[in-house]
Amino acid sequence: MIRDGAKVLLEVRGLRVKVGGVEICKGMDLTVRAGEIHAIMGPNGSGKSTFAKALVGHPAYEAVAGSVVYEGKDLFAMEPEERARAGLFLGFQYPVEIPGVSNSAFLRLAYNTQQAARGADELDPLEFDDYVRAKMKLLDIDPGFLDRSVNDGFSGGEKKRNEILQMALLEPRLAVLDETDSGLDIDALRVVAGGVNGLLTPENAVVLVTHYQRLLNYIIPDYVHVMDGGRILRTGGKELALELESRGYDWIKAAA
Amino acid sequence: MSALASAKHPYIEALLQGAEAPASGLGWLNERRAAALERANALAVPTMREEDWRFTDIRPLTKVQFHRAEERAHPSMAEISGYIVPEATVHLVFVDGVFARELSANSGLPYGVIVAPLRTALQSHAAVIEPHLACHARFRDEVFIALNTCHLRDGAFVWIAKNQQCPTPVQLLFVSTQHEVAAHPRVLVVAEAGAECTLIEDYVSLGETVHFTNAVTEIAVGENAGVQHVKLQREARTAFHIAACAAALAKDARYASHTVTLGARISRNSLNVAQEGEGAQIRIDGLTLVSGRQLADTHTLMDHARPHGRSEQLHKCIVGDAAHAVFNGKIMVRAGAQLTDSAQESRNLLLSDKAHVDTKPQLEIFADDVKCSHGATVGQLDQEQVFYLRSRGLATEHARALLTYAFGAEVVDRIPVPSLVEQLERAVMRETKAGVQL
């Protein structure tokens, strides 16, 4: 929801990002205020995922110019774990498998780390179990997830559901979902949409990185940004997504 | 006595002190001891020039003059109770190689199960022991097995009669207490046809003493019998530990070995599994977790001599600081051992630049219709996994510790004794510093 005077959560100015020595983001500008939903769309290779990975500080993604201010602080002066504890969350495009670490222990560790950072009470394993099961029920996620190793042997859809579960537990201030909708069937898509819609309050914001308009039938964005060649070429409202769906990306490139 | 003086190697000669056991009254045993003594005299301490020892420098061991244990009061129950596995209501405790009756519990066993010191079993059950003792662990070319065999007069004996089951795990706890003492623990396990048992062979030290454990274990698994064998080496990091285990499997026998190596300054663990009957099933798991300047060598031989054998092996090493781990795993498939199905995996994690691992899988196949695979990896932690955990707020060192723990836990979690799994998980956590967060 767009509100006048809402607090700025994220201010990106002239951001350039290199991966393996090659510049992929070539001058990104983006402002995200509390309460807003942003969708970043664009063809493959346009730099969407690179932008998302750079925000959370993946070591292979090097910011070489520009600035990112998150809640008034220089984001690039913070370690990835500090960003996470400050409420920045990335839903991974390809969630990582960690055999040998139980999902329940992992979720509890992540949750308690977040609680400690907020000065809130940590939960012991039993308390956490109740808490996580309630969240899973709400999101319609199989409780069997808890007994397995983190993402180990999960299907693509299960991994994405697990990302949404983490988001729901951690209640981030700014959630960036990197193609969380790719490859999902309609049931899994509803889980993702339910997670995002359940998270939103006037205090936080969501950035959806996506290829497809389909997700935006379930989550109505306030802004749609179209990326190409490492830059945002056009910004519009939710109707821009529908226009992209019918006309493709080429007309935007031509107009730019 | 004259045989002792003729040792080729002065160091071996010193280790033979105390081996002059009185004649046992059992002709066959005296003969085997004499034969072992002859070999001990003839053999030298292995050096890195020998293929089998090329990565393992045991010179520090040869620089210590070990002597026999003095007769002293045994440690109290309180001092060792922490090492007793709660499930193992049957346990034999040995202190510096000598049976400690007052610390052991072996009463109330069901009919057909014997857990006893070898010394008494040799009097009561010689007929069962004779076909096995010093027959499976070959001392001809192995000086340490020869040394152990000529010292042979006590040890642990476990016997499960045909179709009988030992209801609880049996723990054999070898406690070292004295400085610069060499002990030669001996274990014989015989599971007759259709029998089942779980064995925990456990080596610990009280205090940071420099001692030498030279252990030999023989396990005979009868037709369609099953033995689960946990070998735990958690001695002081000042200790020397050399152990050889030989398991012989009859038709359709099942043997699962779980070896965890945490302790000792220098250790060598050899495991030879001989599949002597058709269709035997073997699982060999190992975890070596070393740091500081520890050296831990694991040598295994999976010898498929008969058809339809199945073996699966997973050996993992976690090596920190300037420590050094060695893994040599040989799979032998003899002519005639058709339809063998054998898989071996060696996975190694190096936690520092100075940590070192030598891994050497070997396949020798003389049959043409078999399925054999082996693989080895050596690496650092997966950086994508580390980043994933950091992106959820975990500090880098916690993420690393958690992943290291998980690597080791895979082996520990398969141990069939729940309290031991818990205890070892804690030990791995301590070593990997993951405990702060789990």
User: What is the secondary structure of A9-64 as a DSSP string?
Assistant: EEEEEEEEEEETTEEEEEEEEEEEETT-EEEEE--TTSSHHHHHHHHHT-TTEEEE
**Interface membership of B421 toward A (CB under 8 Å):** no
Domain ranges within chain A, ordered by starting residue: 8-96+172-255
Query: Is A110–B410 a contact, with Cβ atoms under 8 angstroms apart?
Result: no
Subunit contact A79:B409, Cβ cutoff 8 A: no
Query: How many beta-carbon pairs below 8 A join chains A and B?
Result: 69
Q: Which of A56, A109, A122, A124 to mutate to test the interface with B (most CBs of B within 10 A)?
A: A109
CATH class of A8-96+172-255: alpha beta
CB neighbourhood size of B233 (10 A): 24
CB atoms within 10 A of CB A16: 18
Any A CB within 8 A of B369 CB? no
The answer to whether B381 faces chain A, any CB pair under 8 Å, is no
Radius of gyration of chain B (CA): 21
Q: Given an 8 Å threshold on Cβ–Cβ distance, is B388 in contact with A95?
A: yes
Task: Establish if B349 touches chain A: CB-CB under 8 angstroms.
Answer: no
Q: What is the pLDDT of residue A181?
A: 86
Does B409 contact A100 at a Cβ distance shorter than 8 Å? yes
Q: List the single residue in A with minimal CA-CA distance to B397.
A: A81
Residues of B in contact with A58 (CB under 8 A): 387, 391
Which residues on chain B are in Cβ contact (under 8 Å) with A123? none
Contact A109 B402 (CB under 8 A): yes
Helices A156-170 & A186-199 angle (0-180, nearest 10): 10
Are residues A195 and A53 in contact, defined by beta-carbon separation less than 8 angstroms? no
| Dist. CA B11–CA B41, nearest whole Å | 10
Write out the two tokens for B152. Answer: 């042979």
Contacts of A106 in chain B (CB under 8 A): 389, 392
- Mutate which: B318, B391, B397, B421, vs A, most A CBs within 10 A: B391
Are B403 and A101 in contact (CB < 8 Å)? yes
Residue-range domain boundaries for chain B: 2-277, 382-438
What is the model's pLDDT at position B44?
87
User: For B8, which DSSP code?
Assistant: S
- Would the CB atoms of B393 and A101 count as touching at under 8 Å? no
Shortest Cα distance, chain A CAs vs residue B89, angstroms: 31
Instruction: Count CB atoms within 10 A of the CB of residue B413.
Output: 12
* Contact residues on chain A for B407, CB-CB shorter than 8 A: 100
Contact with chain A for residue B385, Cβ under 8 A? yes
Q: What is the residue whose two structure tokens read 């907020």?
A: A118
Note the pLDDT of residue B80.
95
SS3 label, residue A182: coil
> Which residues of chain A are within 8 Å of residue B405 when distances are taken between CB atoms?
100-101
pLDDT of residue B3: 47
CA angle centred on B15, ends B12 and B19, rounded to 5°: 115
Residue among A56, A100, A105 minimizing CB distance to B391: A56
Q: With an 8 Å Cβ cutoff, are A105 and B396 in contact?
A: no
What single DSSP character describes residue B208? S
Cβ-nearest to A81 among B385, B394, B410: B394
CB contact, 8 Å: B377 with chain A? no
Judged by DSSP in three states, A155 sits in coil
Q: Which residue in A56, A58, A78, A81 has the most chain B C-beta atoms within 10 A of its own C-beta, making it the best mutation to test that interface?
A: A81
CA-based nearest residue in chain B for residue A55: B391
Contact B272, B241 (CB under 8 A): no
**Residue B21 has what pLDDT?**
62
CB-closest option in B382, B393, B403 to A110: B393
* CB-based contact A98 B437, cutoff 8 Å: no
- Look up residue B288 and give its two tokens: 């070596």
Residue A103 Cα distances to A146, A150, A156, B403, B414, angstroms: 5, 5, 16, 13, 19
Cβ <8 Å between A100 and B437: no
- pLDDT, tens digit, for every residue of A162-199? 999 999 999 999 999 999 888 888 888 888 899 999 99
Cβ-based interface (< 8 Å): residues of A facing B: 56-59, 79-81, 83-85, 90, 92, 95-96, 98-101, 105-106, 109-110, 113-114, 117, 149, 166, 170
B388, B414, B429, B432: best to mutate for the A interface, most A CBs within 10 A: B388
Beta-carbon count within 10 A of A137 CB: 10
Sorting pLDDT into bands at 50, 70 and 90, what band is A251? confident
- Give per-residue pLDDT as tens, A24-64: 999 999 999 999 999 999 988 899 999 999 999 999 999 99
Q: How many angstroms separate the CA of residue B275 from the nearest CA in chain A? A: 31
For each of chain B's 438 residues, which pLDDT tens digit applies?
444 546 667 778 888 877 766 667 889 999 999 999 999 999 988 999 998 999 999 999 988 888 888 888 899 999 999 999 999 999 999 999 999 999 999 988 999 999 999 999 999 999 999 999 999 999 999 999 999 999 888 899 999 999 999 999 999 999 999 999 999 999 999 999 999 999 999 999 999 999 999 999 999 999 999 999 999 999 999 999 999 999 999 999 999 999 999 999 999 999 999 999 999 999 999 999 999 999 999 999 999 999 999 999 999 999 999 999 999 999 999 999 999 999 999 999 998 899 999 999 999 999 999 999 999 999 888 999 999 999 999 999 889 989 998 999 889 989 999 999 998 988 888 877 654 444
Whole-complex ipTM: 0.96
The alpha-carbon gap from A250 to the nearest alpha carbon of chain B, in Å, equals 35
Residue of chain B with shortest Cα separation from A90: B391
Give the percent of chain B with pLDDT over 90.
81
Q: Is B380 on the interface with A (CB under 8 A)?
A: no
> Hey, what's the torsion of the CAs at A200, A204, A208, A213, to 10 degrees?
40
Is B402's CB within 8 Å of A79's CB?
no
